[in-house]
Homo-oligomer: A and B are copies of this chain.
Amino acid sequence: MLTNRQLQVLQVIIDEFIHSAQPIGSRAIAKKNEITFSPATIRNEMADLEEMGFIEKTHTSSGRVPSEKGYRFYVDHLISPFQLSQGEMNTIQRTFEKEMVEFEQIVQKSAGILSDLTNYTSIVLGPGVFDTTLKQIQIVSMSNISAVAILITNTGHIEHRFFNVPAGIKTSDLEKLVNILNDRLVGVPIIELREKLYGEVTILLKQHSDDFATTYSYLKEALLEEQPVKLYVGGKTNIMMQPEFKDINKIQSLYTIMEQEDLIANLLRSSDKGIQVSIGHENKLDEMQGCSLITATYSLGGEQMGTIALLGPTRMEYSRVISVLNVLSRRLSKTFHSWY
C-alpha cells in the first residue's frame, strides 16, 4: 500500500522525531544520506502520508510529526532489531550474577536496570501466585490475644498476617492447629487455598472444641486477606526529563495514577505473553494519553509469572526499549528457572 519511498520517508520522520522531539521538515529529511530525492518530492510524499494518517502537522506550515497510527505502523513494520552495547549487556550480566536468593530483590533490581538503561519509568509486577504452592505455615503467639501466622511459599515468598486469639487458648493449642494445617495444606497451590480452608479443613476442625473453632475462624480470615500487590517502580523522575512532560499538570496526573497500585497491577497482570506495545489511545487509562506502555512477561516453565514494563511518551525509543525488555524478561525467566 505504501510505496518504498513513502516507507523511507516515514521511517526517517519517526526516527528523527524520536531523537529530536521536533517536527521534521522536508529539507531536513532530504539531507539524510539514505534519501536521494529532493525536498519537493518529499513534500509530495508527506502530503500523501498525512492523508493516510501516518503523520501530522502541528500547524499549517510546520514540519511533520508522527501520529499514533504512524507509531503503530513503525512498531509493526519499520523498527530494526536493536543491539544492546557490550557494556550494557555486561551491566545486566553483573547484576544477575550477584547471588540473590530472594524473589523480591531480583525483581526490584530489574526495575532499576530497566529504568537506568532506557531513561524511562519502569514498572515491574512481582511474580503472582500463579503456580506457587504453600510450603509451610508457622504461627507465633504475640500476646495473650494475638498471634501471627507466617506463610512461606515454594517460590520463597514470605508473608505474615496477624490475627486475634480468643482468651484461654494455649500455645500448645496453637501448635496443634498449625500442625493440622500443615498436614493438610503443604503443597497446596495458593489459588486453591480458599477452597481448602472453607471445605476440608473446616470440617476436620469441627471435631475440636469451640475455642479451637473460633481461633480457626480468625486465622482463616487472616489467611484469606487479599495481599496488596507488589509493584516496583524505577526511575519515576525520568519521565520529567521528557520535553512532552514539561507541564506540571500532566506529570501530576500521571503520578497520581501511578500511585494507584491496584490499577496498574491489574493493567500489567492482564497483559498478554511476549512483548506488547500500547501507544497513546490504545491505553485504557485517560491519564496515559500521550504515553506508550511496553510490557513483557516473564515465565517459569511456560507458566506466565509476572510482567515488566516501561512507560514513556509516545515518542519513545521503541526499538531500544523492546530489546531491553526482551533481554531482561528472558534473563528473569532463566534465573527463576534455575532456582526451581
Contact = CB atoms under 8 A, between A and B. Distances in A.
Interface string A139-153: 010100010101010
Contacts of A236: 255, 259
A248 interface: yes
Contacts of A135: 140, 142
A160 interface: yes
Interface string A153-176: 000101010111000000000000
Given A152-B140, A160-B158, A248-B240, A146 B101 contact: yes
A163 B158 CA distance: 14
Contact of A162 (B156, B164, B241, B255): B156
A102 B147 CA distance: 11
A138 B148 CA distance: 13
A246 interface: yes
A154 B241 CA distance: 45
A324 to B, nearest CB: 21
A156 B148 contact: yes
Interface string A253-265: 0011001000000
B138 A150 contact: yes
Contacts of A240: 248, 251-252, 255
A158 B148 contact: yes
Given A135-B142, A140-B152, 14 more contacts: A101-B146, A101-B162, A101-B164, A136-B140, A138-B138, A148-B152, A148-B156, A236-B259, A237-B252, A240-B248, A240-B252, A240-B255, A248-B248, A251-B251
30 contacts: A101-B146, A101-B162, A101-B163, A101-B164, A135-B140, A136-B140, A138-B138, A138-B140, A138-B150, A140-B152, A142-B152, A148-B152, A148-B156, A148-B158, A150-B150, A158-B160, A236-B255, A236-B259, A237-B255, A237-B256, A240-B248, A240-B251, A240-B252, A240-B255, A241-B252, A245-B248, A246-B248, A248-B248, A248-B251, A251-B251
